[in-house]
Structure 1
């Protein structure tokens, strides 16, 4: 065998070894979507007394939010909402905790969004409410009620003889006394159509065609009152 043929044979062997023997591993597996985080602290429907009071501003304190790590997740978004103003702040964390400075004596809600940089999908946790403890506070107003039905933007047909209102409310002191339902064409509505409601629902005769706004005021045994956000629906 000549040197040229020998070299040619070696090249062919190496070529086929590289191309034919490696096998095909197939496409890379798709990234798995993140799962929802389990909230840990501050507790649901609680008074948070663990905040560290700010030395330069006694009306605020710093709370360490905590949650369980979720599967298939590389970052978390903590959303904290002031329930008196409905203003929200969002914080990004790579771990299971985040420090946030908040006003004292104010109700808040919070939740976690789990994210994975390899997919556009995300997962949202449950929403918890709490009061950031205020100085000398012994009783707190109820949390603003969550309006459930009719949902915002919902259409009710005038052929229905009545419309059902449904809401959910809670109080860390467990002393809710009653609810008042406000309904009207103004935003916010200033017409109370029912007071001293003992349940978290009310049935009302369907009003005339138009756009309506409604809210719930919750009163406790100490005379504290909280007001929900406004929701809108239409009658056609």
Structure 2
């Protein structure tokens, strides 16, 4: 059961196309897995469409130029296109699978056009970067093997996590497949997994380790987020 969702302002920005590309991919992937957020996105989309229509009507009432015949024809054409049933025969529906720890993982459809670089690992942690140019943000798959953990840390920027397989726990709760987590410098945690997990993550800046010998990695933290 999915218990952690994007906040309403994040979903609103997603529908409006105002999120960074990598964050939008993570939100789209969550929505694909979450019936509750699918309904929320449909509601927000309808509200924004109604607002845009009412705004256009108000502009017409206060004397702005009326909509031309060519614009009406264009709107009618859009309505006709959106009313058509999708041509499933011409749409690529094959799932994307990647090998993680000698098992195949099916990725959300939002990732079908994004390349994945080679895996790099240390101990029970391994990470593969997605080939997506999004300023300073980095999108990755993070795999934590059974019994593994990430040392206690906070974040210099923000980190968005979508759990794709398995489960993990930290000081703030328990997370399972489909859960969406947004953390920043106000949060300090140590993710621990008993069964192993795979996460889709986006980080805007380096993580900062806060306890034990892991703190010696902080000088190179920017290069390992």
Bin of the TM-score, shorter chain as denominator length: under 0.3
Bigger Rg, structure 1 or 2: 1
Greater share of strand? 1
Higher RCO (C-alpha 8 Å, min separation 6) = 2
Greater share of helix? 2
TM-score, normalised to structure 1, is 0.20
TM-score, normalised to structure 2, is 0.21
